[in-house]
Chains A and B, each alone.
Chain A
Amino acid sequence: MHVKVRPAGAPPDEWQMRDASDADLVEAAQRDPAAFIGLYDRYFPVIYGYVRLRTVDEATCEDVTSQVFTTALARIHTLRAGGNIRSWLLTVAHNAIHDLYRRREGSHGWEETVTVLADPSPSPEEQTLAKERAMELRAVLMTLGPDQQHLLALRYGAGLSFGEIAHLVGKNPIAIRVNVHRILTGLRRRYRS
């Protein structure tokens, strides 16, 4: 697959990179940083979904997602030939969240969760039942350990299969499936209570 390289002065919108392979997009972005936008368009849903399940509010989610992509853009030239861009982006996201919690002196979101749940003036959107349930589930999610959050976020946020998660974290797919099932069971107990 050949990736069209941007002619001098041509706006990025003229690029046709939707059919390009990941490797071609990475190579193009390493030559011309503006081509990184093709990777952004392709992987925003994956990274945003992952981060959304690992953060308790929209502001934090957007901050972390921004950090992931700006860091990735700045460091795209360090990605090795043949490297898996999705795994790399998810690793950057995982590190960004780890850094966030570390900077917050070990908080894993629970304190924030309490604050959010106790907010006396929820926004109009949050007044709907669905929003409340989503918010509550997200809060319960934050009570899980970082590794458990990581697994659920990879599965339901980034949309990875058990096999892909196993490859990413270097474990047995069957063990991953069992882990996810167990985490969901625990989550269900907490959620119902």
Chain B
Amino acid sequence: MNGRGTTKTIERELREIAQGDMPADLFRAALRRQLLQQAEKMAPRPERRVERSAREAIRPVRPGAGLRVRGGRVWNGLSPRWSVALTAAILLVVLASTGYATEPIINQLFGRSPDTGQPLGIALDLSQTAGGYTMTLHRAYADRQYIILGYTVTSADGHPVNGVQPVADAGVVNDPTLAALPRLTDEHGQAMPALGGSGYSSVQSNAQLTTYSAATIPGNVSRITLHLEANAMEVPRNHTIAVVQGKWAFTFTVPVAPSRIAEPRQTVVDRNGWAVTLERVAITPTMVGAMLRGAGTEAHVELIAGDKHYILPAPGGYEGDAETGRAMKACFAESRQCSDLWKGVAATYGASADVQDGRAGGATGWMESLQNQRGQWTLIVTAAKQPGKLAQPQGGPWIFHFAMP
């Protein structure tokens, strides 16, 4: 090696390129002046005195009631920004009053679910040893949205190891996609697309989970037999990835938790003629999701279920909230992440660990399933983005009322 082009050298040079040099400092100062001038032209937004009670502010909005345009977009007498701020405050109150504790899904799998007091899914405790590593499939959970598998990897003598990732086979060790994760198939050989995973739990330090889409499970199935197979493991060693080949295969049956689905198929047109359709709302024990059409992929979505009001993160994790762990999802028909069931709900959940840096990453889970919430719900799209456009979310609001069975 001549010092040019080693991975370490490239990493260092990439960082040096990113940092820039003297022209960047001049540019930084010039842009700062430009932004200050731009800001000066933008009138400061006066703080508005909010005299309504918080409860009144978030009550479900009847079509046409209290909805008016006055010098800009106003929702039920409050600007969207205020309504969002109030919502956040109310959400904190709701959480505090109910004593609800957010729990990462990996902890619910290996520990217990706040909803039931029991671990999520069923116990399997199946082990396979190959190549000096033992993979133990501890637990499995399935619903109409997700199949979640919890496992650990230990050395052959039983010592926990971290950062070792089972993969489908040695040929996909460097595959950048989730297809590299162990293959999961049903009894007919139908593959379940992998959605992600994580590798850190406060309940069990070497716990890992992998999540698969359950979109192909038929609606009337109450149990499903699955086959999980990994034919290689990625083992981090001295900043490189070693490959250990072997076979870790498990066949098991898991109950499919029931889900409830409402299909409002409502189309609402905003004052500018922009139509958004609420196709479907579904609830499983692991998530609440809404599928929208015509709202782009970055719409701002709020949900009022009973006396509770939530802001739904956008799909793909960009709006994921690591602190509250909300995993409610708005899925947009325009999103490439959409799967067959939802046209895609790519949840970001479980905890994560940065192996190289040795730090635990953000822990997310679901705040509460709303599995037992029924009745009249209201979903509000406060801003949306034209499909295919690069502008920020705008327009709206679009308000949908529907019955959740």
- Measuring CB to CB, which residues of chain A are less than 8 angstroms from any residue of chain B? 12, 30-34, 36-37, 40-41, 44-45, 48-50, 52-53, 58, 62, 65-66, 69-71, 73-75, 77-78, 80-84, 87, 91, 95-96, 98-99, 133-134, 137-138, 141, 147-148, 152-153, 156-157, 159, 161-164, 166-175, 177-179, 181-185, 187-188, 191-192
Within the complex, what minimum Cβ distance (angstroms) separates A41 from chain B?
8
A41 contacts across to B, CB distance below 8 A? 32
Q: A12-B36, A53-B14 are in contact. Are A83 and B319 (CB under 8 A)?
A: yes
B279 within 8 A of partner (CB): no
In the complex, the answer to whether A173 meets B199 with C-beta atoms within 8 Å is: yes
B11 contacts across to A, CB distance below 8 A? 156, 184
In the complex, the answer to whether B45 meets A62 with C-beta atoms within 8 Å is: no
In the complex, the answer to whether B355 meets A173 with C-beta atoms within 8 Å is: yes
In the complex, the answer to whether A164 meets B361 with C-beta atoms within 8 Å is: yes
Interface centre among A36, A53, A80 (most CB of B within 10 A): A80
Q: Mark B312-328, 1 if CB is under 8 A from A, else 0.
A: 00011111111000000
Q: A52-B17, A53-B17, A168-B318 are in contact. Are A77 and B45 (CB under 8 A)?
A: yes
A168 contacts across to B, CB distance below 8 A? 317-318
Cα-based distance from A23 to B141 in the complex (angstroms): 36
Cα-based distance from A98 to B320 in the complex (angstroms): 22
In the complex, the answer to whether B10 meets A137 with C-beta atoms within 8 Å is: yes
B144 within 8 A of partner (CB): no
Interface residues in B174-230 (C-beta closer than 8 Å to A): 174, 176, 178, 180-181, 196-199
B35 contacts across to A, CB distance below 8 A? 36-37, 40, 69-70, 73
Q: A137-B13, A167-B320 are in contact. Are A52 and B31 (CB under 8 A)?
A: no
B165 within 8 A of partner (CB): yes
In the complex, the answer to whether A37 meets B36 with C-beta atoms within 8 Å is: yes
In the complex, the answer to whether B234 meets A178 with C-beta atoms within 8 Å is: yes
In the complex, the answer to whether B348 meets A170 with C-beta atoms within 8 Å is: yes
In the complex, the answer to whether A182 meets B24 with C-beta atoms within 8 Å is: no
In the complex, the answer to whether B178 meets A174 with C-beta atoms within 8 Å is: no
Q: Which residue of A lies closest to B7 (CB)?
A: A184
In the complex, the answer to whether A170 meets B317 with C-beta atoms within 8 Å is: yes
B159 within 8 A of partner (CB): no
Q: A78-B383, A173-B361, A182-B176 are in contact. Are A70 and B38 (CB under 8 A)?
A: yes
Within the complex, what minimum Cβ distance (angstroms) separates A19 from chain B?
20
B392 within 8 A of partner (CB): yes
Cα-based distance from A174 to B182 in the complex (angstroms): 14
Interface residues in B331-371 (C-beta closer than 8 Å to A): 346, 348, 352-357, 359-362, 364
In the complex, the answer to whether B318 meets A91 with C-beta atoms within 8 Å is: yes
B240 contacts across to A, CB distance below 8 A? 181
Cα-based distance from A187 to B234 in the complex (angstroms): 21
- Other A-B pairs beyond A162-B361, A178-B234, 12, CB < 8 Å: A50-B18, A62-B27, A62-B31, A69-B31, A73-B35, A74-B38, A74-B42, A80-B311, A137-B14, A173-B352, A178-B180, A184-B11
Q: A34-B44, A174-B165, A191-B10 are in contact. Are A134 and B36 (CB under 8 A)?
A: no
In the complex, the answer to whether B6 meets A188 with C-beta atoms within 8 Å is: yes
CB contact between B14 and one of A44, A74, A78, A156 (< 8 Å): that residue? A156
In the complex, the answer to whether A175 meets B317 with C-beta atoms within 8 Å is: no
Q: A36-B39, A49-B18 are in contact. Are A58 and B23 (CB under 8 A)?
A: yes
A167 contacts across to B, CB distance below 8 A? 317, 320, 322, 348, 352, 361-362, 364
Q: Which residue of A lies closest to B16 (CB)?
A: A134
A-B contact count (CB 8 A): 220
In the complex, the answer to whether A187 meets B10 with C-beta atoms within 8 Å is: yes
Cα-based distance from A81 to B87 in the complex (angstroms): 9
B81 within 8 A of partner (CB): yes
In the complex, the answer to whether B31 meets A65 with C-beta atoms within 8 Å is: yes
In the complex, the answer to whether A170 meets B197 with C-beta atoms within 8 Å is: no
A36 contacts across to B, CB distance below 8 A? 35, 39
In the complex, the answer to whether A162 meets B356 with C-beta atoms within 8 Å is: yes
Can you report 18 A-B residue pairs in the complex whose CB atoms are below 8 A from each other?
A12-B36, A31-B47, A37-B35, A62-B27, A71-B392, A73-B39, A134-B17, A162-B354, A162-B357, A173-B361, A175-B180, A178-B234, A179-B176, A181-B239, A184-B7, A185-B174, A188-B10, A191-B10
Cα-based distance from A50 to B19 in the complex (angstroms): 9
B269 within 8 A of partner (CB): no
B38 contacts across to A, CB distance below 8 A? 33, 70, 73-74
Cα-based distance from A170 to B20 in the complex (angstroms): 29
Within the complex, what minimum Cβ distance (angstroms) separates A133 from chain B?
7
B156 within 8 A of partner (CB): no
A66 contacts across to B, CB distance below 8 A? 31, 34
In the complex, the answer to whether A170 meets B318 with C-beta atoms within 8 Å is: yes
B17 contacts across to A, CB distance below 8 A? 52-53, 134, 137-138
Within the complex, what minimum Cβ distance (angstroms) separates A50 from chain B?
8
B392 contacts across to A, CB distance below 8 A? 71, 75, 78
B71 within 8 A of partner (CB): no
Q: Which residue of A lies closest to B311 (CB)?
A: A80
Cα-based distance from A41 to B36 in the complex (angstroms): 12
CB contact between A175 and one of B40, B178, B300, B390 (< 8 Å): that residue? B178
B28 contacts across to A, CB distance below 8 A? 44, 48
Q: A77-B81, A133-B4 are in contact. Are A177 and B39 (CB under 8 A)?
A: no
Within the complex, what minimum Cβ distance (angstroms) separates A97 from chain B?
11
Q: Which residue of B lies closest to A179 (CB)?
A: B176
In the complex, the answer to whether B45 meets A166 with C-beta atoms within 8 Å is: no
Q: A66-B34, A69-B35, A185-B7 are in contact. Are A163 and B88 (CB under 8 A)?
A: no
